[in-house]
């Protein structure tokens, strides 16, 4: 059964029926009621968005947990990245305090990179960072990693595609 042709009141009923246990589940995962409440809303927003794609929901419990779990994982990742980022800042030779907007942007891209690169072999990650962050030439990277130049380009391309796939996933 598709939820696409359901009326808004059906969605309200769906929300009322499932929000209780899902909130409990999220609270247990996160140990924080506020975050749990945020992610609960976010889960149902995703359901609404996907509803427009005419996804049929056969097992609402499994479906909701799947979405919620994805959000919990993103939340953890984001927290860890933020912590690592703050730590990195304290090691800077001169104190730097980027504006909240810039920080937000950096953190978002850091999450993206972390998610995309963690799935790739180390040399691919290295080649990608050296090319896209340090702007080294393929030749320099090839020399440092002791790999052929054509391979370096292939590595960089592979990582770029991985990043774009993660961008797709997160929208």
Interface with other proteins (CB under 8 A)? 4, 25, 29, 49, 52-54, 62, 65-66, 69, 72-73, 76-77, 80-81, 83-85, 87-89, 91-93, 105-106, 108-110, 112-114, 117-119, 122-123, 129, 132-134, 143-144, 153, 156-157, 160-161, 163-165, 167-169
Give the nearer residue to other proteins in terms of CB position, either 13 or 49.
49
Q: Which of 154, 115, 167, 109 is nearest to 133 (CA)?
A: 109
Give the nearer residue to other proteins in terms of CB position, either 32 or 84.
84
Give the nearer residue to other proteins in terms of CB position, either 41 or 118.
118
Shortest separation between residue 30's beta carbon and other proteins, angstroms: 10
C-alpha distances out from residue 90 to 16, 61, 94, 104, 107, Å: 46, 43, 9, 17, 16
* Residues in Cβ contact with 159 at an 8 Å cutoff, skipping those fewer than 6 apart: 116, 117, 120, 124, 125, 127, 128, 132
d(CA 92, CA 110): 17
Shortest separation between residue 16's beta carbon and other proteins, angstroms: 22
d(CA 47, CA 25): 17
Shortest separation between residue 123's beta carbon and other proteins, angstroms: 7
Give the nearer residue to other proteins in terms of CB position, either 45 or 164.
164
């Amino acid at each position: 059964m598709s939820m696409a042709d359901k009326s808004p009141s059906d969605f309200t009923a769906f929300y009322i029926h499932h929000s209780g246990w899902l909130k409990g589940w999220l609270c247990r995962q996160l140990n924080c009621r506020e975050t749990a409440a945020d992610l609960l809303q976010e889960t149902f927003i995703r359901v609404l968005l996907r509803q427009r794609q005419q996804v049929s929901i056969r097992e609402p419990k499994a479906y909701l947990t799947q979405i919620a779990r994805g959000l919990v994982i993103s939340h953890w990742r984001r927290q860890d990245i933020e912590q690592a980022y703050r730590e990195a800042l304290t090691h800077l030779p001169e104190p730097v305090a980027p504006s909240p907007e810039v920080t937000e942007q950096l953190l978002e891209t850091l999450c993206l990179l972390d998610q995309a690169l963690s799935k790739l072999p180390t040399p691919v990650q290295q080649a990608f960072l050296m090319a896209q962050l340090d702007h080294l030439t393929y030749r320099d990277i090839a020399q440092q990693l002791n790999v052929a130049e054509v391979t370096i380009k292939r590595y960089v391309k592979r990582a770029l595609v991985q990043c774009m796939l993660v961008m797709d996933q997160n929208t």
